[in-house]
Amino acid sequence: MRFSRLLSRDKERLPGVVGIARVERRPGDLLRRVSAGDIAILDQPDLDRRTAEALVAAEVVGVVNASPSISGRFPNLGPEVLLSAGITLVDGAGAAIMHRLRDGARIRLHEGGIFVGDREVGRGNEQDADSVADHMIEAKAGMAAQLEAFSANTIEFLRRERMLILDGIGVPDLTVAMEQRHVLVLAPGQGHAEEFKRLRRYVREYRPVLIGVERAADTLRALGYRPEVIVGDPADISTDTLKCGAEVVIPAHIDGHAPGLERIQDLGIGAVTFPAAGNPEDLALLLAESHRASLVVTVGFQATLHEFLDRGRSGSNPSTFLTRLRLGGKVVDGTALTTLQSSRTPVSAVLLLAVAALAATFIALVASGLGSSYFDVLADTGNAVFAYLKGLFT
């Protein structure tokens, strides 16, 4: 007994990252099962940012990818997200690792090796900031080919979904009134909660319809707001949020299958399905546009070319590109709105300036002894200040 305890202590002192293995080939299934302290085992070439952000949110301590996380086709963003969060990434471990590791086993990662106890069962390349940077430089050469493939996929997507994109046919009806109202769509992108906090004044002044996409709906409730519409797979959303009274829209495959519909039925919550090939963020934008929103503010969406091409966000699926074209100038990025708000002159400063101007006028008039003409000049000054204030806020 004493010997086994000493052996256990020696194992605990072994170098590397230790956690419980969660083995799933499909990232979507894996993300539903991982939790804090786990090591995610998956097989996904070109690890996308969305999957990486979900793994960070789940607080995993390590990721083992059977495939190369950066294949060189284009500079995808997932590995950078993991490393920035301090998560160990072992890359290119080979397909056999999916069978060698038992789900729920306690494993250790160290310098590219994958260990069960003190026995090495697999090996890959442990990535760091320098190696990922080198891979990203090489991957930029693949951008041209990726853009060509994207163009071809866009034509094919428009052929299949032209009635939805061009005419809005197939968009489900909602009871939430959006016509001639502002709509804010919150997606679960990196830093989405912080970006939304910076828009609190906008939300307070304009009271937009709040649409939460997947786990961003939980973010809204955590920040003290109730989403009026929720779009996404219910498996990625907490029960309390699903029961908050929002209208739930579940993306469905073209064949009509809607993942997560069983959970909604078990909870006794009403929901509508949205059969389309687009991702949940794009479907939320189409909902707002089809229900005649006057302005659509996006928060937590991709903003750069690299993010746009990232497979998990849009990649080979061109729905994002065509959806943005359909909305045109009606869609505004939340970051830009924050910048515009911060550049506005504070109301308190304007009022102080107005009071100072009136006081200076009064003193000048008294000093010059204008007498009966004082009230006329004071009225003219007041009108000028009012016109200035009106022009500032309209």
Domain ranges of the chain: 2-127, 143-342, 347-393
Per-residue pLDDT averaged across 215-238, rounded?
93
The answer to whether residue 262 scores a pLDDT higher than 60 is: yes
Backbone angles phi, psi at 59, to 5 degrees: 65, 40
- In this prediction, residues 159-187 reach a mean pLDDT of 84
Give the per-residue pLDDT at 93: 95
Three-state DSSP state, 324: helix
> Distance between CA 18 and CA 117 in Å, rounded?
10
Position 114 pLDDT exceeds 70 = yes
CATH code: domain 2-127 is 3.50.30.10
Q: Is pLDDT of 316 > 50? A: no
Contacts of 98 (CB under 8 A, 6+ apart): 23, 25, 41, 43, 66
| Dihedral pair phi/psi, residue 385, rounded to 5° | -65, -40
Cα(139)–Cα(147) distance, integer angstroms? 13
**pLDDT averaged over the chain?**
80
Mean pLDDT (whole number) for 254-260: 61
Neighbours of 85 (CB within 10 A): 14
Contact yes or no for 37/20 (Cβ under 8 A): yes
Contact 241, 218 (CB under 8 A): yes
Task: Answer whether 77's CB lies under 8 Å from 49's CB.
Answer: yes
Q: Does residue 240 register a pLDDT over 90?
A: yes
* Helix, strand or coil, per DSSP, at residue 135: helix
Give the Cα separation of 75 and 250 in Å (integer).
31
What percent of the chain clears pLDDT 70, i.e. is strictly above it?
70
Q: What is the pLDDT of residue 3?
A: 38
Q: Which residues touch 72 (CB under 8 Å, ≥6 apart)?
A: 135, 138, 139, 141, 142
- Residue 208's pLDDT is 96
Q: Are 241 and 221 in contact (CB under 8 A)?
A: yes
Q: Of the given ranges (212-216, 311-315, 324-328, 365-369), which has the lowest mean pLDDT?
A: 311-315
Q: Please give the residue that has the higher pLDDT: either 117 or 368.
A: 117
Mean pLDDT calculated for residue range 22-48: 90
pLDDT per position as a tens digit, 14-31: 889 999 999 998 777 788
Is the pLDDT at 385 greater than 70, yes or no? no
Q: What is the pLDDT of residue 392?
A: 44
